[in-house]
Amino acid sequence: MNPTDINAENEGLPDSIPVMILDGATLFPCGYLPLFISESHHRMMLEAALEGERMFCVTSPRIGNDASALYHELSTITTIGLIRACVTHEDGSSHLMLSGIKRAEIVKWEQWAPFPIARINPRPCRLEDVDQALDAVDELIELSEQLCEQGLPVSHSLRERLRQATDPSMVADVVGHCVVTDSRQRQNLLEMDGVVEKLNFLTAHLVTLLGKS
């Protein structure tokens, strides 16, 4: 990919973005995250996001830390999220739907109060072996269909979406969002840089799910 392609792909994405710290929360590209906003600093962050690009990131404390962790103890691999819908209630709280746009890395904290703002760089996953990735996608789709037939967490609409997908990285994100429920595993999956590594992890995960059925 040449620099022109990279600039076009990242057009419209902010260089700096508000960050919401939520213990155990992971947003994947192509995934979604419903949120209820009630705390005052989260309300201020949401208002700033709605007045700007309608985007913010969600990150969580690293394993072993709690939600009051300092910025250097937070996961730095995140996903840029777009606010698709937001309803604010009379008491000032809000329900919103955050849609994952692109994987990114927090490279610098620019503000900590009244809510965090970070400088970010898009961080796409590496696709080093296309043939190996496509083979892994085929296996993953086959396992997903088996899960669907057994009534496990793969819907018919997801199965059709996977069949039509052409991007192995997108397949990994969609399947990961739908079938990985453990918060640590979700964050570990998001932080994997290699597409094939992600697909192999998910293949093993689906095999485990099938074995438990």
What is the per-residue pLDDT across 27-65, written as a single tens digit (0 to 9) for each?
A: 999 999 999 999 999 999 999 999 999 999 999 887 655
pLDDT over threshold 50, residue 4:
no
Indicate the average pLDDT of the chain. Answer: 87
Q: Are residues 149 and 190 in the same domain?
A: yes
Q: Are residues 43 and 84 in the same domain?
A: yes
pLDDT over threshold 50, residue 1:
no
Q: Are residues 106 and 35 in the same domain?
A: yes
pTM, two decimal places: 0.86
Looking at residue 162, its pLDDT comes to 75
Q: Are residues 83 and 181 in the same domain?
A: no
pLDDT over threshold 90, residue 146:
no
Domain holding 147, by residue range, is 130-212
| pLDDT confidence tier of residue 2, bands split at 50, 70 and 90 | very low
Distance between CA atoms of residues 42 and 71, nearest Å:
16
Q: Are residues 60 and 136 in the same domain?
A: no
Give the closest residue to 9 by CA, choosing from 104, 99, 74, 143. Answer: 104
Residue with tokens 């399947």: 175
Virtual torsion, Cα 118, 71, 29, 154, nearest 10 deg: -160
| CATH code at position 105 | 2.30.130.40
Domain final position from 67, 98, 122: 122
What percentage of residues in the chain have a pLDDT greater than 70?
85
Q: Are residues 69 and 118 in the same domain?
A: yes
Record the tokens describing residue 53, joined without a space: 């690009």
Give the closest residue to 101 by CA, choosing from 202, 195, 7, 9. Answer: 9
What's the total number of domains in the chain? 2
Q: Are residues 17 and 110 in the same domain?
A: yes
Q: Are residues 38 and 134 in the same domain?
A: no
Distance between CA atoms of residues 170 and 206, nearest Å:
17
**Long-range contacts of residues 88-92, Cβ cutoff 8 Å, at least 24 apart:** 92/38, 92/43
pLDDT over threshold 50, residue 7:
no
